[in-house]
A and B are shown apart, each in its own frame.
Chain A
Amino acid sequence: MKPRRRNNLFKDIRRHAFYNACLLATIILLSIMLLAGTIVSTSLRTGMGNMQKRLGADIMLVPKGSKEKAENMLLEGSRSAFYFDASVYEQVSGIEGISEVTSQCFLKSLAADCCSSEVQIVFFDPVSDFVVAPWIETEYKTGLSGDSVIVGSDIASEDGTIKLFGQEYPVVSKMARTGTALDSSVYFSTDAKEELLKNAEEKGSFLTEDQKKSGILSSIFINVKGDHLVDGVIEAAHKSIGDIFDVVYPKKLHESLAGSLLKITGVINIVSISLGAFLVAILLIINSIIMRSRKQEVALLRVLGHTKKRLIGKLITEMGVISLCGAVLGCGLGALIVIPFGRLIGNSLNMPYLGPSAGNTLFQILFIILGVFLIVFLSSIFFIIHATNIEPYLALRREE
């Protein structure tokens, strides 16, 4: 029979259950939209930034007919294998106008005991390299030698080593995450190639005839000097090694994707702003209805001695609790939708997509909860103050 001593916050919220449920639903939608928009935009931008790091060459020469495979490998990390005779590297290196040149050799689909799935193995020359190094995120030890490796971000190496074809290799560095299949690649110095292939054969791994050859490489990355034309270097390469190669333009690939990214993020922004404005308008309408329906209650409490300040505090607290619940639920639902399907979203947009880390996601969620609270606060404060400023008798008389 005894009434409770303290404020009945949730009871007061339940008293206006229908309108508060509408308010909660709107806040949930707003939070989902804000979180999804933020995570997708950030992931696309991060994916693009990361791609820029690994597309750090003006041109990439690949064997004739391998252009599409090479582009897919650069953009999506698709596992590929295509080969030149290694002698072309020496010939291309001598061309005038080249400032940097390096080569890589890819082996795909080698089942390895390090990993549950097949891995892409990349051999590169650490001395001339300018493509792999900028992409390294964590360096455990310096210097890559024939008996050590650099691994993609998804390769687990708990004790600092990985085992490939019966041989243990110390991990000296780990690459930054790309959000593509390249995250399960293993990078070796070219010096390690012969021994690795020998081990692979001994362990029964299937190697193609091309892969068994020692003098092979898959691509040549070139940076052109500032005072030379890219086309001039390509023409010189044609003259030097003949029409045996296709040209991939990694930086142009990035520029083209960056243009697409701008369009996509533009669309995301326009949709987010339009939908956000619509939801804020709904919030304003709901808040207006809620406060109109509570004018008599506010008036009665003022007649019974509640100050305006206390009433404003009580109403803001109720709004705050609803907005907090809505924002937490909305962010939770938004995260459940966006995070697991991130890769799918990236693929459907045909863009590099690199989801944020757990810490970054948490930061974004906290930021959105705060933002939603502010939006709800700003959309309700006018109506709250208005309701407390109406003369109590006039508000009570409207009830009559």
Chain B
Amino acid sequence: MLSAEKISKRYNNNRRQILDSIDLTLDEGEFVAIMGESGSGKSTLLAILAGILLPEEGQVLFDGKDLYSLSDAELSEVHRKKIGYVPQSNFFLKNYTILENIVEPFVNTNDADPEELSEKALAHLDRLGIKDLADRYPHELSGGEQKRVALVRALLTDPRLLIADEPTTGLDSETGKIILQYLSDYVASGHSVLVATHDEHVKEYAGRVLDITKI
């Protein structure tokens, strides 16, 4: 489903090589975790695989098509329907409620009915134990609650591939387990998940664990 070939990325005006000729493949229904030290390039690799950071070299094929040769409209459609992305930081629209934060970005952009999206969002929130927070505002939530909301937002359109950057970092182990179990259940329902983390607990859930220094 996803394959990356010879991905290279440099920062600071090409002075710092963060990724050097990385190859990676991900099949349908796989749960893959990429592990490594801070600053090793995990987040950068995930962003490149998600189609939101252009690599200096290499290509990312999703369903056989290079993400970076797609038009803006085609890439946007991939992001809307096929690849969900959870960033490391929790970013929300501040005067929108939690439910609005999850649903509004997709209103008028997706074929789905907003009411259907709302019901779906509430079902996800319910399964993650935070349905009662739907009408709250982001600043009223803890880091763990915000992370779960970000996960629901990325899963709302049932993307075939979910890419999550450090989904459990900074959370207590109980909340971390809830999130990892949720990702595992998502894989079990026929989807694929790719996470970057240094949380050792992920090994209990992921089908494949990769060390970024050895890819």
Contact = CB atoms under 8 A, between A and B. Distances in A.
B107 A6 contact: yes
A304 B80 contact: yes
Contacts of A308: 72
Nearest to A11: B95
Interface residues on B, range: 35 or more
* Among A15, A296, A303: residue with most chain B CB under 10 A: A303
B114 A305 contact: no
Interface in A362-400: 391-394, 396-397, 399-400
B73 A307 contact: yes
Contact of A302 (B52, B89, B106): B52
A213 interface: no
Contacts, number: 103
B85 interface: yes
B135 interface: yes
B153 A304 contact: yes
A113 B166 CA distance: 91
Given A5-B114, A393-B53, A305 B91 contact: no
Contacts of A300: 87, 91, 105
B12 interface: no
Contacts of A1: 99, 118, 122, 134-135
A312 B118 CA distance: 26
Interface in B57-99: 72-73, 76-81, 85, 87-89, 91, 93-97, 99
Contacts of A11: 95-96
Contacts of B50: 303, 393
B198 to A, nearest CB: 16
Looking at chain A's contact residues, is the secondary structure mostly helix, strand, loop, or mixed?
helix
B103 A304 contact: no
A15 B100 CA distance: 14
Contacts of B73: 307, 309
A305 B85 contact: no
A305 B135 contact: no
Given A2-B118, A15-B93, A304 B105 contact: yes
A301 interface: yes
Contacts of A4: 100, 104, 107
22 contacts: A1-B134, A2-B114, A3-B99, A3-B104, A3-B107, A5-B114, A8-B104, A15-B95, A301-B105, A302-B79, A304-B79, A305-B78, A305-B109, A306-B76, A306-B109, A308-B72, A309-B72, A393-B43, A393-B47, A394-B53, A396-B89, A397-B43
State the 6 A-B residue pairs at the shortest beta-carbon distance, nearest first: A305-B80, A393-B47, A393-B53, A305-B79, A392-B52, A307-B76
